Structure 1
Amino acid sequence: MVESWIFSDGTVPASPAAALAVLRERIAAGQLETWLTSSRGRSLAVVTNAKRAMVMLLDDEAEPGEHAVTPEAAGRSKGFILANGQHDEYPDEDTAPLADALRIVDHILTAGAPPGDTAWSVDI
């Protein structure tokens, strides 16, 4: 069975490309935290400051999950605004440039796994 994804607000994208379009629209509108849930019970989160993004993938609610990393990145970025209004700051190594993050999300939605050329950190 092919895994399907739904946004936390109940929006059901017709395809991975449609989901990416919705995600881009949300970011452009200032909605910087987005969660999707798969038909297999997995969760995918994207938290962005519109320049970099934290992309997290969780197999279920009981596990800490994992997130995309950019090991060679230096510095920190602010402006990651969560849905509850909290403003976060992350080390750049724990995030990816937005274009890369969207490519990672697209691959997860299409293939069910991150692209093989991305680095991931298991959260503890």
Structure 2
Amino acid sequence: MIESWVINGDGPIPVSSAIVLEALRSRIDSGRLETWLTSSSGRSLAFVTNTERAMVMLLEEEGDPGEHAVDPGAEGASEGFVLSNGQHDEYPDQDTVPIGEAFGLVEHIVGRGSWPAEASWVVDR
């Protein structure tokens, strides 16, 4: 069975890897910097951005600490990650990736169901 993904809050129509980036960009342009996707197998994919960097997390089920993309050589921290509940977060840059890389990660996970081979990520379980 091929896993399909939907953007939470955007209706039941699945998004493909071919259109997920367009959907993310549209959400960012309208000020929605936090996006959650849910797969047909019950997994969740989180994308939270400050428009320059993004936190990308993949969770196997509700309550799972999951795993997230990292930028091992990054130093410092970035703020401006605004969650849908209005909370403003700051994350260490090593726990986020440049937004272009984050787009590629989301596109790959939605299309293939896993992190790309070249991705750096850590398991938080």
Q: Same fold (TM over 0.5)?
A: yes
Deviates more, 1:21-30 or 1:85-94: 21-30
Aligned partner of 1:109 in structure 2 is: 110
Aligned residue number for residue 6 of structure 2: 6
Runs of 4+ in 1 over 3 A off after TM superposition: none
The CA RMSD over aligned residues, in Å, is: 1.1
Aligned to 1:93: 94
List alignment gaps of at least 5 residues for structure 1. Answer: none
Separation (CA, whole Å) in 1 of partners of 2:99 and 2:15: 23
The 8 Å contact of residues 13 and 19 in structure 1, kept in 2 or not, is answered as: no
Cα distance in 2 for residues equivalent to 1:11 and 1:27: 20
User: C-alpha distance in 2, partners of 1:69/1:8?
Assistant: 24
Structure 2 SS opposite 1:17? coil
What is residue 80 of structure 1 aligned with on the other side?
81
- Unmatched 5+ residue regions in structure 2? none
TM-score when normalising by structure 1: 0.95
CA drift at 1:13: 3.9
